[in-house]
Amino acid sequence: MRDRLGEHASAEKGDLTGPNPVDRGKYGSKIHLITERTGLPLSVGVSGANTHDSQALIPLVQGIPPIRSHRGPRRRRPGKLHADKGYDYAHLRRWLSQRGIRHRIARKGIETSQRLGRHRWAIERTMAWLAGCRRLHRRYERKAEHFLAFTSIACTLICYRRLTK
C-alpha cells in the first residue's frame, strides 16, 4: 500500500540488513573495521547483522589502501593482523599466510582472548568513536551504499581529528 506521495506505508528492509541474533530478530547492519595500531581506521565494511565476522575479513584486508612512506615503496598489506576467536578458521589463516601477513588469531577451545586484550582495545575505542556519530547509531538509510558512505565519512573525521593533534 502506498500513500499519496508514493511512499510505502510500512518500513521496508534495506540492502545488507539481516535479523540480529542478539536483539530479538530486529533487522540491522553490522560495521566491520580494520584499524592500525593506534586506532586509525584503514578499511571499513558493512554487512547484515546476521553475517558472521569471518566472512568480512578477506574483503576488508583487500580494501586496505596502499600506505605512503618516506622511505621505500608503498606498503600494500599489513605486516601483522590480530583477531579474536571469531576469525579462527584454517582457510583464513592460509589466506593470510599466502599473502605474507603474520596473523595472531586466538584459537577456539585452546586460548583465552585475554592476551589479545592489549591489542583489541584500539578496535573497541574506534568502534566507540563511531558509535558517537548519531547517524550511525541507528541506520536510517535503506541503501547500503549510503550507509557505507556515512560510515566512511565518520572514519575520515576520526582520522582528521587524530592526525591534526
- Is the pTM above the cut of 0.85? no
- 125-131 LR contacts (CB < 8 Å, sep 24+): 125/39, 126/33, 126/35, 126/39, 126/40, 126/41, 126/158, 127/31, 127/33, 129/39, 129/154, 129/158, 130/31, 130/33, 130/154, 130/155, 130/158
Q: What is the pLDDT of residue 43?
A: 92
Res. 19 pLDDT band, cuts 50 70 90: confident
| Mean pLDDT (whole number) for 15-38 | 80
In order of their start, the domains of the chain are: 18-163 (3.30.420)
CA pair distance 162, 144, nearest whole angstrom: 27
% of the chain surpassing 70 pLDDT: 85
